[in-house]
Amino acid sequence: MSERVDVEQHRADVARLLAGLADRPTEEVSVHQGALGRVLASDVVAPGPLPRFRNSQMDGFAVRAADVASAAPGVPVTLPVVGDVAAAPGEPAPLEPGTAVRIMTGAPVPDGADAVVPVEDTDHVTFNGARDEGARDNGVRGGGAHRDSATKVEIVRGRAAGEFVREPGSDVAEGAVVLRAGTVLAPHHVAAAAACGIAQLTVRVPVSVAVVSTGSELVAPDEEPGPGQIWDANGPALAAAVVAAGGQVGLRLAVPDDPEVVRTGLERAAALCDLVLTTGGVSQGAYEVVKDALPEVTFRSVAMQPGGPQGLGRVAGRPVLAFPGNPVSAQVSFVVFLRDLLRQAGGLPPVRQVPAALDAAIVSPAGKRQLLRGRWVDDAVAGARVAVVGGPGSHLVASMAAADVLIDVPAATTRLDEGAEVITWPL
């Protein structure tokens, strides 16, 4: 290795290399598809009030509050029902004093009506001359479930003006901010935009990442490995990590241990993507193909375990990060050096590191910052206990799958007792 640096120095160098990725372009996506999980690039402002018109909050009867003010159990107010208003297109006729209209939830409230009496506050309703004896109790509910036209209703509880009437803008006023820039769009955000009549949303274009696995021994997980071959874990794992961090995978490649083939593949990746990410071929062995293919890239030893061998630089003008090939090393490298930068570029906050208490004492070799796999013993909150999972080997993929966090042990620390506070990196 040409140089040896600590973790923070390499993090700073990676951040400088990728600084240009933070200024992301924007694009329009439809609320019907493509919006979920994207990050808003600008505030979404309501083009009009929501609701757009006065509408009923309940199934019941639209009335003038003054006409039912005296209604009480045993002393009902009887009103003629002059029509039905459904939640359907159209504008109802104005309501005359001393009358009522049967109304459904969401239907426009007629001019002249200033309250809605729910069906629960009615007793006998007459349908086309036939009296319904006890609408509150028999499940008919005064008309909400009865398809014949009502002609008369007995109201047993008065309602004040405004009760059960949704006024225009009572949810969102025209010009109000519905969704803030930086919002990661979830289904309820999409619903709010669609309800306001907003069909297109302006979102950040995610960073496009090429994930390149190197090694003649690699085969895809759906292939049968021959002698000396292994399934490629890094390609699927890092592609998933990119997406989870808000990026998108622009290219997936697996290339053999041939410097010319690797160089060609990386130049192709650089032409298609914003960032090139490689795994393998960066250590001090005899067949370090990425080092051979990229003489312009800086390769170094970072004082950490796992994930010590690292490379950074540019290929064909694009930034490239070279991670080690052991699966745990590659995943730890992503978390420590790239995850938060991708999130930042996509408009997402960094993943918050969490303090925790060790469940048992640990020993650690001096001189290298250890990033041990850990699992919560209690809930993942500040002060909770965390236990080490598996051994330190960078090939132990199953123990990585069982982990919730990385336990950060400083390079100068050789022992931590049970209960000692540590910093964890959530996975």
Distance CA 331, CA 338 (A): 10
Beta bridge partners of 353: none
pLDDT of 129: 55
Contact 39, 27 (CB under 8 A): no
Structure confidence by residue, pLDDT tens digits, 9-55? 999 999 999 999 988 999 999 999 989 999 999 999 999 999 999 99
**What distance lies between CA 23 and its chain's CA centroid?**
21
**What distance lies between CA 411 and its chain's CA centroid?**
35
pLDDT of 258: 93
DSSP H/E element including 426: strand 421-426
Report the largest interatomic distance among the alpha carbons of the chain, rounded to a whole angstrom.
98
Cα three-residue angle 182-200-241, rounded to 5 degrees: 45
Distance CA 210, CA 265 (A): 10
CB atoms within 10 A of CB 133: 10
CB atoms within 10 A of CB 109: 24
pLDDT of 392: 63
Distance CA 49, CA 172 (A): 6
Distance CA 342, CA 207 (A): 7
Residue 337, classed as helix, strand or coil, is: helix
Sheet holding 309-315, edge to edge: 4-5, 298-302, 309-315, 318-323, 275-279, 208-214, 248-255
Distance CA 225, CA 217 (A): 9
pLDDT of 55: 96
pLDDT of 381: 58
Identity of the amino acid at 212? V
Residue 239, classed as helix, strand or coil, is: helix
**Phi and psi, residue 250, nearest 5°:** -85, -20
pLDDT of 221: 87
**Residue 125, burial from CB neighbour count under 10 angstroms (0-12, 13-18, 19+):** buried
DSSP secondary structure string for all residues of 271-329? HH-SEEEEES--SSSS--HHHHH-TTSEEEEESEES--EEEEEEETTEEEEEE-SSHHH
List, run by run, the mean pLDDT of 10-residue segments along the chain (427 residues). Answer: 85 97 93 92 96 96 96 93 93 95 96 96 73 44 51 93 96 96 95 96 96 92 90 93 95 94 96 97 80 94 95 96 94 97 93 93 92 84 80 68 93 94 95
pLDDT of 41: 94
* Cα dihedral 263, 266, 271, 273 in deg (nearest 10): -170
